Structures are given as structure tokens and as C-alpha cells.
Amino acid sequence: MATVSSSSSELQSSSLTLLVLLPVIYISYHLIKRALTPTKKKTKKPTTHGLKSHPLLGHLPAFLKNRHRFLDWSTELIVGSPDHRMGFWIPGMRTGIVTGNPADVEHVLRANFANYPKGDRATAMLRDFLGAGLFNSDGEQWLWQRKNASREFSSRSLRSFVVDVVSDEVAGRLLPLLRSAADGYGHGHGRVVLDLQDVLERSAFDTICMVAFGHDPCCLCLADGGGDGGVCWADDSKSEFMRAFGEAQDLIIGRFLDPVEVSWKVKKWLNVGTERRLKKAIADVHAFAMDIVRARRQSASASASADQSQRDDVLSRFVASAEHSDETLRDIVLSFLIAGRETTSSALTWFFWLLSSSPPAVTARILAEVRGARASTGTRRGQPLGFDALRGMHYLHAALTESMRLYPPVPLDSQSCAEDDTLPDGTHVGKGWSVTYSAYAMGRIPAIWGDDCAEFRPERWLGDDGVFRPESPFRYTVFHAGPRMCLGKEMAYVQMKSVVACVLEEFVVDVRKEVAGGSGGVPEHVLSVTLRMKGGLPVQVRRREEC
């Protein structure tokens, strides 16, 4: 899979070249605009506590300087701001705010939802990849898809299908892989070092492809005999779709991070650099997806009495309605892949790292819940855990929720202001401004979570009776909030809890902290579509003694 680092270097090079020309461009632009535009009332601009604005350039120099660490930089400004928001403006290009204020989030995502669509800028950046799918549409088009998807996700049959797919992936692939790693693949090399992030991403991609497409890419299939003291995948050519999909995601996010918006448009027009690579990756993804869509449509036409197990995936459900074009089905399913490809794997990667740095009592409480579930269901170690058993694990639910509070899989989400508006505290938001809420920053604000907000403490989510207590989604925005609340929230927890419960009861996961730790012992992150760990998460696993 292509990494963000290569694309980032290309984007940074383009930005630096443009930076040399920006003073001339801006001076010319504003002189001409001033000469041609009638005098009018001065436009309001957002301000930020601690962020310097420059004549003609606005906040562009600060954006370019901190582009490589945008998440941490914006979080520092938001946490240090009295109103917990960061305003920015780049004349002629971008203006908006990034907020960690729960009142702002509720206003944008619920109270005045209609005034904050995805907007033309964001949908234009994603259109060549996601078309008009659920996560790249607004208005009636979005509402129609949302209603159809909501109906499907509320069905018991789809929930049962997801549980079965997750159970098969964990029991049939993930656990055997970890057993082989613990035994050194039979080559006498001792315990093998695995990149747990890569393993979890492969497993999640297998799972979401089965749920969305009914297609098994076999990304986590291990070759017989392993490798030379390491992992050897059965047929890595089968992972080509995962590689192309990941590269397209990484390059798309580069468009959003480039403060000089015209840069990606020029490169696309010239078909050079990252845009040339993106065009190829999107073509590969679309070709693969269309092949599956057409095959599924032909299969449905040929046999209306197909095996029910072949009709439970999301694609088959939409094909059955016979209302949609092949392109529409492709866009719908790709949106589900975006939602499920890296979200759970990102959450689990950071969870296992946090667990390695936590007191042993955290793991002990999780294992106690697993043993209780085994006793109540009569199942043995290594066997799947059902939906009801997983739902009853309140401490594990709290631990995963706490992990995502600190390391949300989707750390930022943006909307566009359709018409001039005012936030609850009176702050002006102009028409066309972007409004981004930062789940990452919100998890680090003492006013929301207390002075211990930087600590991983699952107990903050439990009542005196040990039962999980949810927080307002406008304070805990990991699954978004309001009408765009994540439809797959319950299924994501099923997948994560199944993986953690089955892995921890059989293995001790030792993180190679001398490799994984960044500055201060915290791994560096990569801001892609999700919050990934830079360089992966190197671990060794050893079998846990049965209690």
C-alpha cells in the first residue's frame, strides 16, 4: 500500500514552489480586485487566539509551516483558545474555523443542520473517487441514500450477517495467524515481529468487502509455512484492490491538506504528480468495483432463488431493488468501504498500544468479562462470541470508547456554511466558510473531560453499577452526531469487541516500544482518511496460559 509520506513530499514540493510566487500573485490579485470591485462593507474574518495574520497572505504562512503536523498544531490552538476554536483565512482561497466547542458542534450538526452541507468544495474533491455516494452527497440525494441505508442497517438479517462475517474472519484467519507468529512459523526463529496495524487493516478490509460486496479479497490469508522468520501472505496479488483503494484515499486527503487549493486542480488538468497517480488508482478501484457490481446483477437476474447467504451483503440488497444504475451501486458500495476500511483497524491499533502502556488491571478486567461470557454461553476459547455476549461486555466497551476518545479513527470532519450564520456565543460564520469539528482536539480539552483528559481511564464511562454510560454525541463526536450519525456504530463495536476479546484471552501482545514509540514514547500519527500510526505497530505475541 502506498504511504502518505511519498505523496506528502510531492505536495510539499508543489506548495513551496507556489509559496515563492504567492506574494506576486496575491498583490496582483488584490490590486485588480480592488480596482474592479465596488466599495462595500468590510468582510468579517475569523480570528484565532495565538495565531498571527499577515497582510495579503492571511494565515497561509502558518498553514504551510505546520502542514506536516496539522492535527497537533490545530489541537494546540483549540485547547489554548478561550472559546475552543481556531479561525483561519487565506485570501481568495479558504476561510473557516476548526472547533472543539460542543456548543458549536451541536449547532452545526443538529440545530442548524440544513445550513451546513458537505458543500461544493468538499464534494468536488471527492467526486472523481466516490461519485455521488452517501458520504459525498447533500440534500435530497443524500436523504434518499440515508433512508435506504438506514433501513438496511436496522435489519436483523444484516446484523446477523455481520456477526457471522466477523466471527469467521477472527476464528478462521486472525487467530491462526497469531498462533503461527507465536510459534515462530515453525522455523525456530522465536517469536515473530508483526506489524499489527497491517494485520488489522487486512482483516478489516476482508470484513468490509464481505459485508459491502459479498467479495472475499483474502488479504489476511497466510501462505503455508510462513516466511523467512516473518509473514508471507498467500497471494499478495489479491491485495491489489486494497492497495489501490488505500493509495486513492491517501492522495485524496492530500487535496484537503493543501492550503493552495488551485494546486491540485492544476496538477489534475496537466495530469502530473500526485494527480496522475490518483487517476490511475481511482481507475483501478472503479474497474474492480464495477466488475463485482455487474457480476452480482447478472447473478441476481439468473437466479431469483439464490442462496440467502449470497444475498445478505449490502450490494445484493441494493441490487435486489432494481432501481439503481451500475455507477450508482458502485458509488454506494465504495462509500461503505470508505467508512469501514480503516476505521476499526485504526481504533484497534491505538487501543492495543494504549493497553500496552496501561496498568495490568485493565487487561485483567477485560479478561474477567470474557471468562464470564464464556461461562454464560458455554463456549470455549477460540470459538466465536455472539452478539448478546459481546453487548454484555461493558468494561470492554468502555475501554474501546476511551481509546477512541484519545485517538478517534476519523479525527476531523468538515461541513460548509451555506448562508451567513451565528454560533451560539455570537461568533460570525460567513457564507462559504468551512466549519470543521475536531474529535481529536475535543478529547484533549479539560473543560469537557476534566483535568485527567490526557489519561486513558475506561472507568470514566462506567456508572457505580459497572454499566456503560454514553456521553452526548456533541461532546464525543467519534461517530459524528445529528442526522449524519454513523449507521455502522453498533457493527463497529461488534467487530472491535470480537477481535479484542478473542485475541486477549489467547495471547499476550507485547508492543516493541523501542520501535513504535515516537517523541515522548507516543507513536507518530499519519493523517489520512483515518488516524493511522506512522510506521505501523510492531508487536510480538505469546500464548497466554489458560486460567
Instruction: Give the domain CATH number at 383.
Output: 1.10.630.10
Rounded average pLDDT over 245-273: 83
Q: The pTM is what?
A: 0.86
What is the tens place of the pLDDT at every residue in 425-444?
A: 999 999 999 999 999 999 99
Provide the pLDDT confidence category of residue 201 given band limits of 50, 70 and 90: very high
Whether 536 has a pLDDT exceeding 90, the answer reads yes
Averaged pLDDT for residues 327-348: 86
pLDDT at 20 over 70: no
Say whether pLDDT at 8 is over 50: no
How much is the pLDDT for 505? 95
User: 3-state SS of 235-302?
Assistant: CHHHHHHHHHHHHHHHHHHHHHHCCCCHHHHHHHHHCCHHHHHHHHHHHHHHHHHHHHHHHHHHHHHH
Please report whether residue 55 resides in a domain: no
Domain that holds residue 225: 139-521
209 assigned to a ligand binding site: no
Using an 8 Å Cβ cutoff, are 448 and 99 in contact? no
pLDDT at 515: 59
Query: 329: closest CA among 491, 308, 337?
Result: 337
Residue 194 lies in a domain: yes
Mean pLDDT, range 301-320, rounded to an integer? 65
Which of 161-165, 260-264, 342-346 has the weakest average pLDDT?
A: 260-264
Q: Domain count of the chain?
A: 1
d(CA 32, CA 106): 40
Lowest mean pLDDT among 308-312, 380-384, 392-396, 532-536: 308-312
Per-residue model confidence as pLDDT tens digits over 47-61 = 777 788 888 788 888
Q: Is residue 393 part of a domain?
A: yes
Any domain includes 124: no
Can you tell me whether residue 172 is helix, strand or coil? helix
Judge whether 426 lies within some domain.
yes
In a domain, 536, yes or no: no
What is the 8-class DSSP label of residue 222?
A: B
Residues of the chain above pLDDT 70, percent: 83
Instruction: Report the pLDDT value the prediction gives residue 309, as an integer from 0 to 100.
Output: 41
The residue whose grid cell reads 509551516 is: 65
pLDDT surpasses 50 at 279? yes
Q: At what angle do helices 196-212 and 156-169 cross, to 10 degrees?
A: 150
113-117, 241-245, 341-345, 530-534, range with greatest mean pLDDT: 113-117
End-to-end CA distance of the chain: 40
pLDDT exceeds 90 at position 496: yes
**Residue 488 has what pLDDT?**
87
Higher-pLDDT residue of 256 and 65 is 65
Residue 50: inside a domain? no
Q: Which three cell numbers stand for residue 541?
A: 505475541
Q: What is the pLDDT of residues 27-48, one digit of tens each?
A: 444 445 444 444 444 557 777 7
The answer to whether residue 63 is domain-embedded is no
Q: What is the Cα–Cα distance from 62 to 159, expressed in whole angstroms?
A: 46
**In the prediction, which pLDDT does 365 show?**
97
Give the integer Cα–Cα distance in Å for 89 and 208: 38
Return the bridge partners of 525, or none: 533
**How far is it, in rounded angstroms, from Cα 286 to Cα 403?**
34
* Model pLDDT, residue 236: 64
Indicate if the pLDDT at residue 134 is higher than 80: no
